[in-house]
Structure 1
């Protein structure tokens, strides 16, 4: 076969491409050398880098009264020179973070190739290729943004660092400046924070735990998850064996489970609130490194009362949560669990649980908006909808009842009928309108609260009813001020967004008040007008009470994290008592406010000639008293002179029928039936715990 001349037309494109690539590579190397040279000349001295005053921002979070709730910022220990850093610590860090640290020039081509291969195979970067030098460059000079430009800058700075400093100096800088979680920067702060002693005394097991934190400080920090930290340390020890830093026998002699982790100093449960509020800064102010004061909405007195109410009333083995909102949405108190130190999981803002009959708020809002009135009569009778047959907890049916009585007694069959009549999607839409963010089922059983919700969302919905049907948006930060007094952010009231008409909210308040005065929520009475609703789920897994008084709306949830049943837990028992204990203190210095339960419709809603009581065939006649005069006061408006029914005598035999409770007559009043009387305070007769479990099968 004849050879093709080197200058033949067939080879010219190939040779041209090779030359272009060589020139491009040469220009790239020249550009890299220039960039590294410039960066080298601009690098601070080693002595400058050993100063740690640039490690982070100090943030003070203040309560509404100015009291400092928590001060956050970098925790930095003393600087440990290289020769005083334990060999175990140095080896553990190199083994797990950069096993070729002693041989590469600041970047590791093998590591980069491995990372690229994983990226191609999985479609994501699940294995990092950054060296210790690159991480140091990023921590001191760059940001954590995942961009190609940042990676190029990181490599250039890493190469310059390797030229300017020795390997030992780079490792010393890294170990004294890297973040290890729990607010600790550097190995000395981390050792003190997690083990109670300085870094110079670190054992092999302790060093393995600290070295394992760099990959994900939040996930592996002993303050967040002790077992995760210990598990990660086993990975570090095995890496040390694989890379020849320790023998297999030495590693086997270390038991991560036996490494003693210093217990965190007990913190006030205010941290549930600060952990919820702090991330909101990212959307409220521009990034800044200067110290700032964050003025929050939290009321310290209410927070103490909330902690005490949850601690005192939550059943053993269960968790409790509480959220209190002011009329403008300001969060005045927040409890996410019984003990923040034991569990940082915030059950008031993160947990999603079934609300039980507390969800009936949306059922009756939809009913009232459709034109039903609290005095309208529906029949409590067996009902079957698409094969689903809800039951009342009493296993009985009362026949004709008013809408007000049905809500107060939390009668399940009436809620089912309303859902069937209006459409279950209509009720789901009402819940979304009021701020329920989770997925809402449209199966018939949804009227009994089988869709998971968050406590803060439910509390917000009740607050919007209290606010005459205008949306309430919870917020926790009032303003942010810099160290020199410059206001960086100021909360402004949001534009009003009407969710339902004022008279719909007023009628809903009427129903909610009746649930506390004569229904399932009587344990929540506090000696002034209260409106609220209980909720209980299947087998007593969840208990809820949400209500409002004097401008404060409070939601309480109790249950177990594993959703196991809790004997005796109902919305009208422990949750309602916790609401009572909190609210008597929360509103003690607020004026008593009567509920506006009768708001007239505007003129354009009335047909010509209609009066306040209506006209025509559907007119509702006013109820007359014994003298023939109409009642001019809503029968369910709070009467401070009224005497509450005396609690039952524990030594007396229970009557065959529930005790009568004297209440004023109501419009369209039904004939008196002594079997249809309010249950004793603290009980929740109409929240049927057995129903929700059956509902889930729908």
Structure 2
């Protein structure tokens, strides 16, 4: 009998997989059969609703596409709405106060305010009817008819702007503007507009129309550092909003569009022209008749004269931005939002900076084709003593000292020379000034000439371009002798050193970076230079010195809570650089910046096509950067850093050092007395330019004084005419203007000077 052996283990495995395969095949077959049966049942059921021929294309297909598009639109709307609704996460969004700050100068004198101080004490019923009508007629005529977004108004604005070829009407409703004021900022982006639209709808579901209008009137910015129509009425007219007349209400309603442009204390003619547009809107909207607004047209509003109340607005904007960032670092349990902040500003230096820039642009701006300038004066601890962000804050609130990135030109070279000293070079190290190329780029010196073998001190004194480029290569070779691209390594080291100084600008790697092709800001450039007189310690720019609550409780103090100075470079390197840079002022490209008896060092900078002109310099007490150029990057007329920038720097620093103990500058000493023009008879007087300048013109202060004197004479003449019925000698009754400006009395600090064509002007009296 034959014995049956048990199957081998391999046969068991084979049988297992055959069984598994059979089960899978069976499952797939059963599933497919079931799905086919379900589909057949579904098809049989849907055949009952089949619509063919023309009815399908007229009804079914459009409805189907509409449903598909609608579903996609809902998903898109939800996606866009989520970021907007996150802005409303704070349940106390309506009661929460916005940041309100009163600023003091370094000595404790109030200089201005920023932020919103709420004044909800006046109910909407107490607002003048003509103010509410003027606001609705100008900002949102269909306010009580729409749900937050006025689509007809938006379409009307688009058509009007298209016909006018520019922006003439805004399409945002009052609710949208309130949403922006409560939750968003003023950035012009599509994202912000989308958020604004969703938040407007959200506000309409939670507040009544009157509540929205009241919030808008109370919280809108109205220029002059004021928020809300009541604050604006007090600032511009010295009265409560309850008491404004129609002409004043029209002027207030005209401020919503562009408060800084139409503010009457800055540009009264523009404010009155805008108020007249508001009166037109009242008639067009049917809220008033032409007869009702006739009196307001004939008697426009008269604003309080605040020309002498010159606030350092660029500085206040910068300090307020700094304060907003600072508040976010306070403990979350801290609910205070009203502060009094002492800043580092010195108003004497601030006024000197403003006057120096205005005087130079007024006298020489046209010749040089330069329209803008900016400057920052800093203490050696980084505290900003003065800031000018542009020629006219009323015309442009863009802060060129903080937000504008411009090429520094040769004023960037001190970072290159510092890197060279850190890598074994010395001020007396010699290098050949000769042709050099990196790829297809070959730098050229000013004047297209070469000096041969020179020291680093001579190179920086004469602002030679070739030497910094050669240094970038030499630095890279010392760092990595066998590197295939030593210039790139050298530039990386230069950027590293610039970062230590405090520059946060991008500084992209380009062959021309060592001669200042990468853009920086004026404020960072100015404070970075403080590393040299600080014996190598870098500091952080700041405006805030001390923060207190409205009750006077100390919250924050710079010397206690602010970032501490950091050692960026060795003290001996900083002293060597100061010694090298002092030659730029004493015998180089910045001789106009030299200060009598005050140690001074710095560097000029001029970019391609003369688009930017800089002088950045320092003493043992302060550092200061001055920039001149044009907003549209158009070239100037051969302006160099040694011309207007150096002269402006000199004029500012003369004032900054008045009454201040002059400190020694490490590496320079205590400075030298400058030669006086009257010591040697043959010495030519020091002038700003060798070419003749324009005729002498009044300074800004002198012009303001003459305007006030003329106003006083006009008032006196009118008073005399009313009492006697006769016109004064200097004011004929027909013209109402003086016959001759020679009859005007000049202040004691000014003297009369002969102007062109027999005219007379006032100039400062020389002491």
Q: Deviations over 1:278-316 (max 9, x none)?
A: 222223235756653211111233323333433344433
RCO comparison, higher one (Cα < 8 Å, 6+): 1
Q: Does 1:300 align with 2:347?
A: yes
Whole-angstrom distance in 2 between the partners of 1:304 and 1:130: 39
Cα gap change, 1:233 to 1:438, in 2 (>3 Å):
farther
Cα distance in 1 for residues equivalent to 2:406 and 2:304: 31
Q: Which position in structure 2 is the counterpart of 1:438?
A: 505
1:179 matched residue in structure 2: 220
Do the aligned partners of 2:378 and 2:527 also contact (CA within 8 Å) in 1? yes
* 1:365 maps onto 2:418 in alignment: yes
Distance in 1, matches of 2:440 and 2:532, equals: 33
Distance 1:360 1:647, change over 3 A: farther
Q: Which residue in the other structure is 2:136 paired with?
A: 93
| Aligned with residue 60 of structure 1, among 57, 77, 102 | 102
Question: How far apart, in 2, do the equivalents of 1:584 and 1:530 lie?
Answer: 12
Q: Does 1:265 align with 2:332?
A: no
Structure 1 residue 652, shift from structure 2 partner: 9.1
Give the counterpart of 2:246 among 198, 202, 208: 202
Question: Counterpart of 2:527?
Answer: 460
* Bigger shift: residues 339-348 or 295-304: 339-348
Alignment correspondent of 1:280 = 322
Deviation of 1:409 after TM superposition, in Å, equals 0.8
C-alpha change, 1:595 and 1:196, in structure 2 (3 Å) is closer
Match of residue 389 from structure 1: 442
TM-score normalised by structure 2 residue count: 0.58
Q: Does 1:409 align with 2:462?
A: yes
Kindly indicate whether the alpha-carbon contact (under 8 Å) linking 1:290 and 1:483 is maintained by their aligned counterparts in 2.
no
- Tell me the CA shift for residue 540 of structure 1: 3.3
| Equivalences, count | 537
Equivalent residues of 1:80, 1:188 under 8 A apart: no
Going by fraction, where is helix more abundant, 1 or 2?
2
- Name which of 480, 483, 486 aligns with 2:553: 486
SS of corresponding position for 1:316: helix
Pairing 1:500–2:575 present: no
1:516 maps to 2:585 = yes
Q: Is 2:175–2:200's contact at 8 Å kept on the other side of the alignment?
A: no
Counterpart Cα distance in 1 of 2:580 and 2:669: 13
Mapping 1:39-58, distance limit 5 Å: none
- Structure 2's unaligned 5+ residue stretches are 1-40, 42-93, 155-169, 186-194, 476-486, 691-767
Question: Offset at 1:548?
Answer: 1.3
Partner of 1:353: 406
- Give 1:619's aligned residue: none
**Which residue does 1:609 correspond to in 2?**
none
Q: Tell whether the 8 Å contact from 1:60 to 1:68 is kept in structure 2 after alignment.
A: yes
- 300-309 vs 571-580, greater mean Cα deviation: 300-309
Query: Would the alpha carbon gap of residues 522 and 95 (structure 1) be closer, same or farther in structure 2, given more than 3 Å must change?
Result: closer
Q: 373-382 or 489-498: which moved more? A: 489-498
Deviation at 1:358, TM superposition (A): 0.5
TM-score if structure 1 supplies the norm length? 0.63
In structure 2, the CA distance between the partners of 1:83 and 1:56, relative to structure 1 (3 Å rule), is: same
Query: Shift of the alpha carbon at 1:578?
Result: 2.1
Structure 2 counterpart of 1:316: 365
User: Is 1:449 aligned to 2:530, yes or no?
Assistant: no
Q: Deviations over 1:15-37 (max 9, x none)?
A: xxxxxxxxxxxxxxxxxxxxxxx
Tell me the SS of whatever aligns to 1:466.
coil
Change (3 A) 1:302 1:565: same
> Structure 1 residues 244, 494: closer, same or farther in 2, change over 3 A?
same
- Mark the runs of 5 or more structure 1 residues left unpaired by the alignment: 3-48, 116-125, 598-636, 654-679, 685-698
The answer as to 2:542 corresponding to 1:475 is yes
Residue among 368, 372, 388 paired with 1:335: 388
Partner residue in 1 for 2:158: none
Deviation at 1:176, TM superposition (A): 5.5
What SS does structure 2 have at the residue aligned with 1:61?
strand
Larger radius of gyration: 2
Distance 1:367 1:647 in 2: 42
The structural deviation recorded for 1:390 is: 2.4
Q: Distance in 1 between matches of 2:447 and 2:178?
A: 66
CA distance in structure 1 between the aligned counterparts of 2:471 and 2:648, rounded to whole angstroms: 31
1:551 lines up with 2:594 in the alignment: no
- Distance between the aligned counterparts of 1:75 and 1:548, measured in 2? 43
The superposition leaves residues 231-252 of structure 1 with CA deviations (integer Å, 9 ceiling, x where unpaired) of 99989988996x87699x99xx
Q: CA 1:352 to 1:173, structure 2 compared with 1: closer, same or farther past 3 Å?
A: closer
> Does the CA-based 8 Å contact 2:103-2:112 persist in structure 1?
yes
Distance of aligned partners of 1:231 and 1:366 in 2 relative to their CA distance in 1, 3 Å threshold: farther
In 2, Cα distance between the equivalents of 1:470 and 1:174?
49
CA distance in 2, matches of 1:648, 1:452: 44
- 8 Å contact from structure 1 (residues 320, 558) kept in 2: yes
**Pair 438,82 (structure 1): closer, same or farther in 2 beyond 3 Å:** same
Contact 1:76 1:184 in 2 (8 A): no
Q: Indicate the residue corresponding to 1:41 in structure 2.
A: none
> Is the partner of 2:602 in helix, strand or coil?
strand
- 2-side partners of 1:309 and 1:131: how far apart? 44
Change (3 A) 1:74 1:594: closer
Alignment root-mean-square deviation, CA: 5.1
Does the residue aligned with 1:479 lie in a helix, a strand or coil? strand
